[in-house]
Amino acid sequence: MVNKAGSFVLFALLAFSAFAGAKNYWLSDVSVACDFSEDGSADASEVYTFNFEGGFSYAYKDFAFGNWSYSQIKVFELADGRIVSELKPEITAEGRDTRVTWRFRSKEEAEGLDELDGYYEERTFRLEYRLEKAVALYDDVGEFYWKLWGGDWEVGVNGFDAEVRFPHALLNVSNSIYCDCNASWTVNGSTLFVHSEGIQERTFLETGLSFDKSVFPNPVFARIERGTLSEKLAAEEREAARKKQAEEDWKNTVDSVKPVWLALVVLVSAASFWYFWDKHGRELRAAGTSMVREIVFDGKPWEVEWLLRQKVSVNSLTATILDLARRGHIGIKAVKKKALFFEGTDYEFTQLKGKDGLDYVEEKIVNALFGGTDGTTSLSGLRKKYSTAKSVFSSWEETASKDLDSSKFVSKCIGYDGLYGFNAVQFASFWERLYSPCWRRLSRNSRGLSHWLPRS
């Protein structure tokens, strides 16, 4: 009997071990700081607090591609707010973006652990880099339009804070926050503060801050844009409206042609099916056929029976007589015979040709039929001439068998890849269909014939 309780405990342990062995991570806190100089460049830093379940030995961040540039990228690990080590960043291209990867010693490596099932640790890292061309200066105002949190993160963050400091106090400020989350912003003198209680995965947070461009008196590392910001925003709105209208027009076009397209697909499919079926699937029509009966094997009846049964019987004798009649060597004719109280039927045999072209076995039959006659005999005469047909058949059987053995007939037929053997089967079937019914009628109509050629 199966121990169900033990099986359940084993299943629970396996399920727990599989779950515990899975690696997972999330972000508890993220803070971004950006300190601009009068020339438009900025020293930026990002602090990430990772929560790891299982063994992790690296992390990465993707820097978005744009008209700006990143340089002097550094990575540090923090503990209690202090730098404990500097990590070497690996900078690679990820499509058009730039990926910065940093590797660190996991607890498994640091403490020599073999198993990390259920293991949890919190690690904090800080990225530092120089940012240029992030601020745009138009004819009327300056703009800092920036994605503070990217939308490519697979996990969310529990708490997010950003602090952007400018070289001088911000005047004529206008700001907008773009995020599908609960976020707020404030400006205090020269600093912009952005806060969110939580951002879900695959969700970005952008800020669009406009201000008096006198904040940057020497904008060497700022983007100088032609026109005004209002003109740029109007152009962007027009472009967005154009794209939206194009999408709607395309959708309407697809909806309008969908029935025609479906009908065209059905029509083309049906036409293709008909074409290939008519070309490759239809059975070919037979043109002007006629039935022709041919003898496919020129062997003699006793040879065929010898091939099939390895013996010669009375059937071969009967078939040989009929074959001689077919070939025109003898004639067979039914004649009426009067008796005392009834009329009977006799059969008259006539020798029509000589013995030229006959085999020795066939000559023996002709001699048995017409020996001592003027070329004409009958069944009744044969019955009187031979007291028993057994001796005639036995003599003929012995002659035919010896002739077949001495000529190695079977070996000759089988020697050509079985071709003659196959034709022999066809020929035997032909003789069976052709002569057996005729001979049965002769046997039923003449007792003399059946006595002269008894069945074996």
More confident call, 404 vs 311: 311
Closest by Cα among 164, 171, 228, 137 to 34: 164
Closest by Cα among 419, 138, 150 to 299: 419
SS3 325: helix
Phi-psi map region of 44: left, alpha, beta (phi>0 left; psi -120 to 50 alpha):
beta
Phi-psi map region of 54: left, alpha, beta (phi>0 left; psi -120 to 50 alpha):
left
Helix runs in 190-300, H state only: 229-276
Tens-place pLDDT, residues 213-269: 999 999 999 999 999 999 998 998 999 999 999 999 999 988 888 898 899 999 999
Q: Count of alpha carbons within 13 Å of 292, Cβ hemisphere only?
A: 6
> How far apart (Å, rounded) are the C-alpha atoms in residues 187 and 154?
31
CATH of domain 21-242: 2.60.40
Q: Which residues, in sequence order, are CB contacts of 340 under 8 Å at separation 6+? A: none
Closest by Cα among 212, 214, 144, 205 to 179: 205
Indicate the angle between helix axes 301-309 and 419-445, nearest 10 degrees: 110
pLDDT at 439: 46
114 pLDDT higher than 60: no
- Sorted by where each begins, the domain ranges of the chain are 21-242, 301-452
127 pLDDT higher than 80: yes
Tens-place pLDDT, residues 135-166: 999 999 999 999 999 999 999 999 999 999 99
22 pLDDT higher than 70: no
170 pLDDT higher than 50: yes
Lowest mean pLDDT among 142-151, 334-343, 425-434: 425-434
> How far apart (Å, rounded) are the C-alpha atoms in residues 146 and 134?
8
Which residue type occupies 139?
D
> How far apart (Å, rounded) are the C-alpha atoms in residues 208 and 211?
10
More confident call, 55 vs 214: 214
pLDDT at 139: 95
Task: Specify which residues 45 forms β-bridges with.
Answer: 33, 128
Task: Specify which residues 99 forms β-bridges with.
Answer: 62, 92
Q: Which residues, in sequence order, are CB contacts of 129 under 8 Å at separation 6+? A: 44, 45, 70, 71, 72, 73, 74
Place of tokens 């940012």: 131
pLDDT at 18: 42
pLDDT (average), residues 38-60: 94
pLDDT at 366: 83
